[in-house]
Structures are given as C-alpha cells and as structure tokens.
C-alpha cells in the first residue's frame, strides 16, 4: 500500500529526496525510510533520542509536517551540505577587495546549496569618483553581472542551481538602471530583483513630491517620486520584475529590531535577513488536518494543529545544531538567534474542504485565525523549549517584548516569554512549497489558491512510448472520492486563473498579520488588466500591511500561463520533431549504439584525449546517450572518469542536455587556457564542452554553435495554430512552467528556479 497520493508524488520523492548511493542505488527503500532517516538525525541532539525520534517520525508520517527540501534530502546522509535554505550575505564593502571577498563567500555558500540574497545599495553609483585611481566607479550593476556569471558556473549541492536575490534601495542613484536591468533577456538571468521601498518614498508617491537619489551625503539626482514609482510599476507590468519590498515595515515589525537591521531577503522574499543571516524552512500541511472534508462537520482540527506545530518547532530548532554552514559567520549568526521559518501549505485545499471560497472575506478571516493559532502554538512551544534548553543568546526580554510583532501577541504568550525567554527569535514564515506540495500529493502550494484542478503530463517510458498521467489537486481528488468522478465542482472552487488580484492581496494581508517574517506569494493578474488597476494592487498591498508584493501578468515577454482544462482532456498528439523529453527513469542501454570518436590535443598535456559519444534514436531522432573520455595521462584519470559518469547520467535522463555544453565551456583554468583553431579556449574542460557541442550539431540535436535545439517546440505549436505556452522548463523541456510564490515552477517534473 503506497503512501503516495499520486504518481508524481512518488517521482518527486525518488528524484529529489530519496537517499541513494553514488551509482544511483537507493538507500531509502521506501518513503518511510526517508522519514525515519530525517527523524533519527534530528533527534540525535535530544537526551531521550529514541522517544523524540518516534514523535518526529509521527509528525513526518503521511506528509503532515513537511520540512523544506534541503532537510528532507540532506538530514542523516552524512553529506557535507547545509540544511538551511536561505542566506543573506554580509554587507558588501564599497571597495574592490571587499566586493570580491564577498563574491568568494557567495560562491562557497552556493556550492553547498544555499539560496542567497544581497543588498547592492552599499556600492557607490556608476560615475562616482574612485579615490586614488583617477577613475570613475562602474556601479553596482556591473558587479551584479560578475555575481551572475559566478552563479551560472557553480552547480549547487544536490543538483540545485543557485538562486539569488538582489535588492537596491529606492533612493540609490542607480535605481533606474536597476529597475530596467532585466529588460535585456540575456542579463542577470540568475537573479530575482526587488526594490527596497521606504515609507518616506510611499508618502512622496502619494503626494506626487520630489525624491532625492543619493549615496552617502551626496545627492546625485532629484526625480519625481511618482515618476519613479511608475517606472517600477511599468517594469513589473511588462517584465514581471522587479518585485517590491516594504523595507521600513520589515524593520519596524522585526522581533530583533533592537540588535539588527535588515536590507535584503532570500531569493523568494519570505525571509528578510540581516548580514550573514540564515533561516531554515518547514511547512504544516493544513490539507491533512481537516476532519470530515466536504462534510457537514468539516473543520480544521486545531488541537492536532497545535500539537503538530510544537513538534515541528522542536525539530526545526534541532536543525540549527545538526546543520553544517558554508561560512563560520553564518553558523554564529544562526546560533545567536536560532531563527526558524515555520509556514503552511495546503491552505487553499483546506478552505475548499470546509466549503469556503479562497479570496472571500470569510476565507480571509479563517486564514487569519488559522495563522494566529499557528503563531500562538509556535511561540508557546519555543518558550517551553527556552525553559528546557535556554533562550537564544541575544534574547533581551524587555526589548524583545516591545518589538513590533510581539506587542499584538496574546497576553498568556507574552507572559510565558517573560518568564522563560524564547528559544527562537523568529518562528514563522511562508515559503515557496511547489515541490514539496507535489511530493505531499499535489496539495495547494503555500497560501496560494489552487492553480489548476487537474492537468495531464506526458512521461516517456523506457521503450520509447509515452504515457499520460493525470495530476489532480488533492482537494479535488477527495471531492471526487466522496461524490463521484462526474460530480460537478461547487461554485466556491476558484483557481489562480479566475481569482481577482485584490482577492489575492486580501489573503496575503490576512496571513501576514501573524507571520513574523514574510510571505512568498504571487498575485496572478490577467493579461488585460489595465496599468492603473495593476498599480492599485501594489498600493493595496502596502496599505493593508503586506511586507512585499510580487505579481505575474502573462504576456509576450513573461510567457503565457499554463493552459489547463478542468476536464483534464489531453491535447491532440503533435509531431514531436526534436521535442525535449523528460525520462521518468534512465533508459536501458541497447546492445548497439551509433556514435563518433573525437581526438582532442590539448597543448602541453603530453597526451591526446579521446572523446566518444554514442547516441540513441527516439522518435526517429538521434540524441546523446553516453560519453567516454579517455587519456593515457594518469593525471587526467580521476576527473575523466567522473565526467564520463556524470555526463552519461545526465544524457540518460533526457531533456535539453545542451546545457552541459554551456556549463563546460564556462569553466576557466586559473593557470591559463590555450589557443585552438584560432579561438581562445579557457580550459581543457571547455575544450571537451566544445567537442560535445560539435557532436550535437552533427546529429542535429542543436542547430549550431551557441544555439539551442534544432527545432523549437513552441514554433511547432504556432504553426499548428496553438498559442505557445510560455517558456519551456529548463529541466524537462515541457511547457508546464507556472509562476507560484515568486518562483517559476514546472508542474511536470517539479523543477523550480528557486530550488
């Protein structure tokens, strides 16, 4: 009897969270093994480890508590990885040496799998004097380009590519260039961008007053505040970036305002953090806590919720001690404040189960009540932990209880904190849960509405055939199970495509009242929303107490929202051509394969390197299946074997594997490269990347050097009269990308830009 509610849930577990040997042999034979591994690891710091292991296991069982992916994948593995999701780097000094010290720290953090946020407001603007060198400064955006290149080069731990957030204050002299930076589609691809908006700026916008752009004491320009606001709004209306962070509100409401100042967030915005700040994440699955769903007595079991929250807080507090950290400063910061980010997922499904329409005033009130119950339980549990294990080291009772978030807390909670202290300085946050929501049976993500009630995904099987799987929302599946497959869904079943933008804002504002950090949420806007109505969304978010705002309006630049059918009817078969395909399992190797061998003579290496690439034919088209790299130079042995295994594993998983070329060609050797056939090649690995690229061109997999697939699947759709479904997933190539909680997320394979 499987614990998984849907095939995609088991596939997500197998791909992302299941512990395996280096050769792919599973060590977690079942999901119960994964739960046991995590529970045992997080209980190791307890005095009675065996008893707490059972309690932790029970919390994980049946997907009730969902630790973030890095905990699920990394806890108990013995691997040198961080279990923390979010990092904000140290303050970037306004000096060349300091900037590149920060770049090094960022690379080390990203290498271990952390998402990173930076505030680039501390770098002097373009054209400013550089003392002592008779030159003008190049400005923060030029250094952001350097960070972007670094991120593209480094593959972070667990096959997750690094995600980054860059912020800039609304009064920085280069803010206008920052706002428009990503209108060049090739620039800053690894960054999310957000403007730090102050209360003074919003007051100036409302008054249509002047706004000074300054650095230090020098005013560089004066602009109209409303004009600058309109530029921010126009950019996000057309390009979905930058986002907006209400930074004064974040600092005002911060429990730790007495000992830290925040100027940056993690990549998805739900964790405002100080320099070297780190936070781990986890979510309570509200969809699993509703009793009698869709029945007369449907309600959230608040007693079970409180008990689960208390266990989750203890588990997450233990992660602070169990995790490794890329930098010592991050470890010290985490230990000093013991910040955690406990959130929710499945909220929209839970509302459906009790018969409430997401976005209504009733649902907003219910959301606020549920989040308050979680906050109460979390703070009481943390106070109890402080009584047992001690408060966080920087705790100051008088200052802490006077902070913005605590003055509204219930008196019994404040009394418990005054008596015992509190173990964790901040406790709640609502993070992106796209992948773990799929893993939990396709429950609705975070506090988002249901994106689609059902859709179909195609999976390529080992024999080359394709099967279709229906992916059904968790609440819809329960409704079908209770009332029959043909039962019509009630009117209160609304989704992200039909919901009014201000209904989104209402739900975000309701949740924010009892979340001490912030919320990652996307406000979906229709393509035809007017610019004035679009601006109203941001103003409403500010006026109703939100700490930030992220919208997504589908258009020709951002891509169309995934087309879905509530009846889940499959689209007609199309000529696949060179379509990117995702393999649910690696293909078995046929007895014979066609291939080519290439000789690569690297100057000064002493021996030639031979690269053999063999192909498999699928749907009449050749695609790479395996690679062998051989050299008589024994200094090359270890890394050539590693490349052979890793690249072959990538080839056998399918998808647009041409990214392998991009990654290898970006590698540079600090000892210097070589000139080959009139071109400078930065490293021997880059030369191997060039050989692979040559082969992909020869077999027609890509059209030419530096180009992607020979046939653009979106062009085929256009020829057939269908509207392209936006951008293809970079992992599996499907057109199932959707903007959820500020992250482009693939419904077919679970890939997320933000990890």
Residues with active-site annotation: 266, 268, 270
Q: How many residues does the chain have?
A: 755
Give Cβ neighbours of residue 701 (< 8 Å, ≥ 6 apart).
578, 621, 622, 623, 624, 658, 709, 710
How distant, in Å, are the alpha carbons of 447, 470, 547, 562 from that of 496?
12, 19, 21, 11
Tell me, what DSSP letter sits at residue 572?
Answer: P
| C-alpha to C-alpha distances, 608 to 236, 611, 631, 643, nearest whole angstrom | 52, 10, 6, 16
How many CB atoms within 10 Å of residue 22?
Answer: 6
The residues, ordered by sequence, that sit 6+ positions from 97 with a Cβ below 8 Å of its Cβ are none
Residue 615 has φ and ψ, to the nearest 5°, of: -120, 155
Q: Where are the beta strands (DSSP E) in 619-755?
A: 621-631, 674-676, 679-681, 737-740, 743-746
- Report whether 568 contacts 477 (CB < 8 A): no
Pairing state of beta strands 743-746 and 340-345?
A: unpaired
HEC string of 105-139 equals HHHHHHHCCCEEEEEHHHCCCCCCEECCCCEECCC
Phi, psi at residue 609, to the nearest 5°?
-110, 135
- Tokens read off for 206: 């409302």
Residues 6+ apart with CB under 8 A from 369: none
Contact call for residues 18 and 28 (beta carbons, < 8 A): yes
Which H or E run contains 374? helix 361-389
Helix or strand holding residue 435 (H, E): helix 434-439
Lookup: tokens for 509? 């504002």
Alpha-carbon gap, residue 228 to 234, rounded angstroms: 10
SS3 453: coil
* CA distances (Å), origin 268, targets 140, 265, 440, 522: 21, 8, 21, 10
**CA 658, chain centre distance (Å):** 23
Best CA proximity match to 441, nearest among 5, 744, 141, 66: 5
Output the CA torsion sign for 295, 299, 301, 305. Answer: positive
Could you check whether the bond before residue 242 is cis, i.e. omega within 30 degrees of 0?
A: yes
Number of H-type helices and E-type strands within the chain: 24, 28
Q: Are strands 86-88 and 115-119 parallel, antiparallel or unpaired?
A: parallel
| 646/66 Cα distance (integer angstroms) | 30
User: How many C-beta atoms lie closer than 10 Å to residue 332's C-beta?
Assistant: 13
Rounded CA-CA distance 538/252 in Å is 20
Structure letter (DSSP) for residue 679: E
Rounded to whole angstroms, the maximal C-alpha distance in the chain is 79
Tell me if 334 sits within 8 A of 278, measured CB to CB. Answer: yes
Eight-class DSSP state of 496: T
- DSSP H helices in 276-340: 302-322, 328-337
Distance CA 139, CA 142 (A): 6
Q: Whole-angstrom Cα distance, residue 36 to residue 57?
A: 6
């Amino acid at each position: 009897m499987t614990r998984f509610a849907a095939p995609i849930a088991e596939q997500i577990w197998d791909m992302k969270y299941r512990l395996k040997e280096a050769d792919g042999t599973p060590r977690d034979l079942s999901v119960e093994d994964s739960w046991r591994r995590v529970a045992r690891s997080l209980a190791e710091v307890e005095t009675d480890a065996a008893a707490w292991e059972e309690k932790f296991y029970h919390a994980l069982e049946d997907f009730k508590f969902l630790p973030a992916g890095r905990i699920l994948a990394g806890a108990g593995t013995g691997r040198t990885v961080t279990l923390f999701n979010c990092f904000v780097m140290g303050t970037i000094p306004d000096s060349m040496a300091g900037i590149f010290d920060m770049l090094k720290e960022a690379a080390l953090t990203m290498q271990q799998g952390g998402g990173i946020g930076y505030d680039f407001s501390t770098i002097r603007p373009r054209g400013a004097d550089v003392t002592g060198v008779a030159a003008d400064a190049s400005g923060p955006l030029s250094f952001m380009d350097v960070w972007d290149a670094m991120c593209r080069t480094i593959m972070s731990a667990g096959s997750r590519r690094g995600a980054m957030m860059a912020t800039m204050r609304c009064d920085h002299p280069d803010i206008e260039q920052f706002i428009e930076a990503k209108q060049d589609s090739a620039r800053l691809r690894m960054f999310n961008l957000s403007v730090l908006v102050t209360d003074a700026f919003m007051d100036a916008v409302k008054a249509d007053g002047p706004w000074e752009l300054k650095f230090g004491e020098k005013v560089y320009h004066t602009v109209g505040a409303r004009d600058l606001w309109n530029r921010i709004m126009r950019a996000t209306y057309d390009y979905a970036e930058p986002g907006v962070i209400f930074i004064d509100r974040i600092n005002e409401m911060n429990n730790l305002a007495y000992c830290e100042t925040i100027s940056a967030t993690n990549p998805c915005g739900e964790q405002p953090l100080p320099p070297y700040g780190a936070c781990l994440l986890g979510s309570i699955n509200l969809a699993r806590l509703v009793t009698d769903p869709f029945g007369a007595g449907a309600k959230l079991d608040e007693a079970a919720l409180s008990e689960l929250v208390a266990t989750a807080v203890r588990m997450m507090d233990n992660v602070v001690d169990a995790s490794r950290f890329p930098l010592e400063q991050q470890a010290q910061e985490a230990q000093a404040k013991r910040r955690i980010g406990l959130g929710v997922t499945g909220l929209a499904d839970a509302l459906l189960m009790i018969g409430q329409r997401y976005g209504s005033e009733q649902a907003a009130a219910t959301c606020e009540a549920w989040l308050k119950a979680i906050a109460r339980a979390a703070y009481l549990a943390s106070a109890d932990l402080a009584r047992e294990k001690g408060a966080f080291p920087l705790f100051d009772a008088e200052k802490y209880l006077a902070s913005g978030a605590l003055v509204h807390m219930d008196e019994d909670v404040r009394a418990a904190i005054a008596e015992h202290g509190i173990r964790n300085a901040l406790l709640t946050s609502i993070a992106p849960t796209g992948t773990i929501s799929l893993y939990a049976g396709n429950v609705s993500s975070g506090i988002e509405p249901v994106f689609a009630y059902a859709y179909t995904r195609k999976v390529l099987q080992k024999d080359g055939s394709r099967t279709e799987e229906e992916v059904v929302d968790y609440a819809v599946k329960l409704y079908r199970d209770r009332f029959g497959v043909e039962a019509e869904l009630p009117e209160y079943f609304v989704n992200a495509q039909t919901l009014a933008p201000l209904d989104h804002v209402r739900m975000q504002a309701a949740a924010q009242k009892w979340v001490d950090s912030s919320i990652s949420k996307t406000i979906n806007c229709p393509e035809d929303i007017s610019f004035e109505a679009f601006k109203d969304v941001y103003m409403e978010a500010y006026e109703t107490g939100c700490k930030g705002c992220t919208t997504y309006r589908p258009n020709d630049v951002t891509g169309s929202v995934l087309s879905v059918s509530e009846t889940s009817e499959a689209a007609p078969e199309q000529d696949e051509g060179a379509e990117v395909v995702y393999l649910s399992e690696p293909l078995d190797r046929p007895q014979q394969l066609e291939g080519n061998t290439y000789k690569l003579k690297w100057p000064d290496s002493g021996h030639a390197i031979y690269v053999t690439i063999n192909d498999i034919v699928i749907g009449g088209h050749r695609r790479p299946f395996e690679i062998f790299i051989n050299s008589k130079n024994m200094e090359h042995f270890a890394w050539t074997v590693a490349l052979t295994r890793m690249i072959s594993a990538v080839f056998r998983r399918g998808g647009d594997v041409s990214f392998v070329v991009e990654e290898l060609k970006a590698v540079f050797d600090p000892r210097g490269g070589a000139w080959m056939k009139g071109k400078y090649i930065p490293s021997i690995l880059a030369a191997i990347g060039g050989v692979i690229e040559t082969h992909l061109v020869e077999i027609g997999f890509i059209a030419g050097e530096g180009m992607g697939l020979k046939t653009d699947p979106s062009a085929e759709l256009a020829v057939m009269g269908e509207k392209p479904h936006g951008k293809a997933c970079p992992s599996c190539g499907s057109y199932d990308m959707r903007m959820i909680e500020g992250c482009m997320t693939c419904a077919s394979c679970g890939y997320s830009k933000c990890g």
